[in-house]
Amino acid sequence: MPDVPPRPEPFTPQTDPAALEDLRVRLRATRWPDAPEDAGWSLGTDLGYLRELVAYWADGFDWPAQEAALARLPRFRVPLGGLGIHFVHARAVAPAGPVLPLILTHGWPDSFWRYAKVVPLLTDPGSHGADPADAFDVVVPDIPGFGYSDRPTGPPLESVAVAGLWAELMDVLGYPRFGAAGGDLGSHVSRYLGLDHADRVVAVHRTDAGLPVFSGDPAELAPEERAWFESAAAWGATEGAYAAMHRTKPQTAAFGLTDSPAGLAAWIVEKLRAWSDCDGDIERSFTKDEILTNVTLYWLTGTIGSSMRMYRANAAIPAAQYARRVEVPSGFSLFRGDVVRPPRAWLERTADVVRVTEPPRGGHFAAFEEPELYAEELRAFFRPYRSSATG
């Protein structure tokens, strides 16, 4: 008897009111740390700002309204590799030409939330002042251990394995050829889609190149590459403690972050501020409702520990994997406010680069911070590859 392929099922979560009441009780009972006078954000999350955010989370934030807004995206779950995978699957609206399937992969600390604003701009460009011929079918999965995808009960999955799952997902959805895009962890996953599934991926777009890994002779590096390695090391020394924790002892931090919603918010909010193009004012990039939607997704799904464990899994990827060059056409949009932006020489060393741009606004979460700019970057990059996905 032939194997029956997995079938996606519509997915619309509705939070138990008791879970929200428990959250409010915990928020109101927060035991606050002290902080030196005028410390601000210099030691991590600012105490005054977090007090304000937590007070709003407890008594002003309307999660059911945010949950309903997210439910307007067509969402599904499907079993793959022994795990239930949650994903958005939004088809092109009134396309005026070949439709390119596109899979978008998020990073940390987020989920499918990262792309919530950009999905309609990509599926229905004609209604947003762009060319209807640039319409995409958009797929946005939650990485296992993030959002509404299952948490692996065994070893966490690394980016190579996730890329394999995404290739299987696109097969289930009937897309033999497709484009891939992402940032942060999603940049890694998209890279491995291009490396391991080059017969199916028409092109790869990324907003970063990750932190540099190079096991060759440093003399081979161009001066700008060596300078970038130095700046990346300096960034890691001052900003990378979170990643060291995730790579080494994620379970220790998971106890406190899973138990305390204020602690969870502090861990995530500091990164939203530091990595976005907000010039120190987080609410220039995200409203309180947007911040808390992201954080509440982590709280209700209990995924902060499982999301951090992916860093440990990725740390075990063999160095030889990083030495591979992506030979499918690759593009990079290096947004102004992102961290550790690579030089072109490094990009060309690691990929078949056909386009590099430097958008004037936006940071690490560009798809959420500047959805119109991000959508235009994807439209322009993938335009030449539409026919190769359908021909």
- pLDDT mean values, one per 10 residues, the chain (391 residues): 81 97 98 96 97 98 98 98 97 92 98 98 97 97 98 94 98 98 98 98 97 86 93 93 96 98 98 97 97 98 98 94 96 96 95 98 98 98 87 54
pLDDT at 1: 47
Q: What pLDDT sits at residue 117?
A: 98
pLDDT value at position 2?
56
pLDDT in the model for residue 350: 95
Token pair for residue 191?
A: 């890279």
Architecture of domain 14-23+43-390: 3-Layer(aba) Sandwich (3.40)
Whether the model clears a pTM of 0.75, i.e. scores above it, the answer is: yes
Alpha helices in the chain (DSSP H): 17-28, 47-59, 63-70, 119-123, 159-172, 185-196, 223-239, 241-248, 250-259, 261-275, 288-301, 304-315, 319-322, 344-350, 366-369, 371-382, 386-390
CB neighbourhood size of 43 (10 A): 11
pLDDT at 216: 83
Looking up tokens 């940032």 gives: 183
d(CA 391, CA 388): 5
Q: Which two tokens stand for residue 141?
A: 């999965």
CA distance 122 to 372: 9
Which residues are marked as active site?
184, 311, 364
Q: Which residues contact 230 (CB under 8 A, 6 or more apart)?
A: none
For the record, the structure tokens of 59 come out as 């008594």
Cα–Cα–Cα angle for 148, 61, 53, rounded to 5 degrees: 100
